Chains A and B, each alone.
Chain A
């Protein structure tokens, strides 16, 4: 079998399952992150700070494991770019952190949030202008706000940052192609989406600031989320797979109960996410709900979406219950606990994979994966056990 034939067979298997159909066997699509560095024998610093090392490690895993699809570089923050722009909110392996610790996000305390509570109107009036002229100078050690004296560091940070981003995105395209030609492996996702409310919590107001605002100024929070929507939609659409084979990844953070209450989900979170997903689906793009943590409280809301419009990825939710509620409408993926990959034995991993296949994959519409991204704590023999068992037992 040529690599192209292997690629086509895997693509068919993967996309059949994505559409909630029954392929020839259960597809395997692990979201391998720092695991690739561990497998390739390189430091986390090397893979995070030099994306070429991460790409090569990703390719090596795709060559060695019989996976249908992988994410082209799940070590998604290239810290070389972070350093060039002077971004304050990451701990960089080998610089701020030991060389074998994954990059860390440093959320500031509420009083030092990157966006202040009285700045909602500015954000609402023009989100791009606010980000460029208020937020970026605040999150960068180098970039100055308008009317402040510019510096050499300011000029260089903007130039280097912009050109480095171009370099990185161009290189990602090359990785997608190389996964196909060298490994016969499908790039699992294309494009990205985040919820407006998560954006506010992640990098603007911080989680504590956001929940204060949800009570003190909910109308401003809603208006800010609405103002973010067209931009988040455009970013998702522009990064989507032109062939409409693989889904746009929707990274779900802290928009669920108990991070926010049911009313805030119903009145703010969901009305500013659902229309984006529906519009993407109208244009032929599936969205992969990467439901980090446990979103089981909201399954009925997700059922409102058109059948086939999403793929629902399970982290800590009850995948057997989720299958009962959503399985007639959407493909599911994940559900294999990451702690089992880190602390369990290959026998325990095989037994859990059997439970998953028996419980949710009998009629197709399931893709094998861990619950969360697979980092360097996963044992190689356990990832191998997941792969080999699913291949053996997951035949239809």
Chain B
């Protein structure tokens, strides 16, 4: 039986927000916003390393 590949791993980030939270144990405001921006910027190193592998 083929695994559902879309459920594997965490494509799009190098460090997940769950891992990153260790560095920010207290979030006083809107954690959803902090997480969203974290993941948006995390995307760039993920894109970099995968494109070094695939394109360069």
Query: Is the pair B54, A230 in contact by a Cβ cutoff of 8 Å?
Result: no
Chain A min CB distance to B18 (Å): 13
The chain A residue sitting closest to B4, CB to CB, is A275
A192 on interface, CB distance cutoff 8 Å: yes
Chain B min CB distance to A233 (Å): 7
A234 on interface, CB distance cutoff 8 Å: yes
Question: How many B residues touch the partner, as a band?
Answer: 20 to 34
Query: Is the pair A162, B48 in contact by a Cβ cutoff of 8 Å?
Result: yes
Number of A-B pairs, beta carbon distance below 8 Å: 79
Please indicate the chain A residues that have their CB under 8 angstroms from the CB of B12 in the complex: 234
What is the CA–CA distance of A276 and B6 in the complex, to the nearest angstrom? 9
Query: Is the pair B2, A235 in contact by a Cβ cutoff of 8 Å?
Result: no
Chain B interfacial positions (CB closer than 8 Å to A): 2-3, 5-6, 8-14, 44-56
CB-defined A-B contacts under 8 Å, sample of 18: A87-B56, A131-B52, A131-B53, A136-B49, A161-B52, A162-B44, A162-B48, A165-B47, A166-B44, A199-B53, A229-B5, A230-B5, A230-B6, A230-B8, A231-B9, A231-B50, A232-B54, A276-B5
Please indicate the chain B residues that have their CB under 8 angstroms from the CB of A129 in the complex: 14
Query: Is the pair B9, A230 in contact by a Cβ cutoff of 8 Å?
Result: yes
B-contacting residues, A199-229, CB 8 Å: 199, 203, 226-227, 229
What is the CA–CA distance of A77 and B51 in the complex, to the nearest angstrom? 11
The chain A residue sitting closest to B8, CB to CB, is A230
Query: Is the pair A131, B45 in contact by a Cβ cutoff of 8 Å?
Result: no
Partner of B50, one of A82, A128, A279: A128
What is the CA–CA distance of A50 and B14 in the complex, to the nearest angstrom? 30
Chain B min CB distance to A279 (Å): 7
Query: Is the pair A81, B50 in contact by a Cβ cutoff of 8 Å?
Result: no
Question: How many A residues touch the partner, as a band?
Answer: 35 or more
What is the CA–CA distance of A311 and B14 in the complex, to the nearest angstrom? 33
Please indicate the chain A residues that have their CB under 8 angstroms from the CB of B49 in the complex: 128, 131-132, 136
| Given A230-B5, A231-B9, A161 and B53 contact (CB-CB distance below 8 Å) | no
Chain A min CB distance to B20 (Å): 14
What is the CA–CA distance of A128 and B15 in the complex, to the nearest angstrom? 9
Please indicate the chain B residues that have their CB under 8 angstroms from the CB of A242 in the complex: none
The chain B residue sitting closest to A272, CB to CB, is B5
What is the CA–CA distance of A227 and B8 in the complex, to the nearest angstrom? 7
- The A interface, classified by DSSP as helix, strand, loop or mixed, is helix
What is the CA–CA distance of A44 and B41 in the complex, to the nearest angstrom? 35
A232-243 CB mask vs B (1 if < 8 Å, else 0) is 111100100000
A194 on interface, CB distance cutoff 8 Å: yes
Query: Is the pair B2, A275 in contact by a Cβ cutoff of 8 Å?
Result: yes
Partner of A235, one of B10, B50, B56: B50
Query: Is the pair A230, B11 in contact by a Cβ cutoff of 8 Å?
Result: yes
What is the CA–CA distance of A230 and B3 in the complex, to the nearest angstrom? 11
A127 on interface, CB distance cutoff 8 Å: yes
Query: Is the pair B5, A226 in contact by a Cβ cutoff of 8 Å?
Result: yes
Query: Is the pair A233, B51 in contact by a Cβ cutoff of 8 Å?
Result: no
Please indicate the chain B residues that have their CB under 8 angstroms from the CB of A295 in the complex: none
Please indicate the chain B residues that have their CB under 8 angstroms from the CB of A131 in the complex: 49-50, 52-53
A312 on interface, CB distance cutoff 8 Å: no
Partner of A132, one of B14, B44, B54: B14
The chain B residue sitting closest to A81, CB to CB, is B56
What is the CA–CA distance of A227 and B49 in the complex, to the nearest angstrom? 16
Known: A78-B56, A162-B45. 10 other contacts (CB 8 A): A76-B55, A77-B55, A131-B53, A132-B14, A165-B47, A226-B3, A226-B5, A227-B9, A231-B11, A233-B6
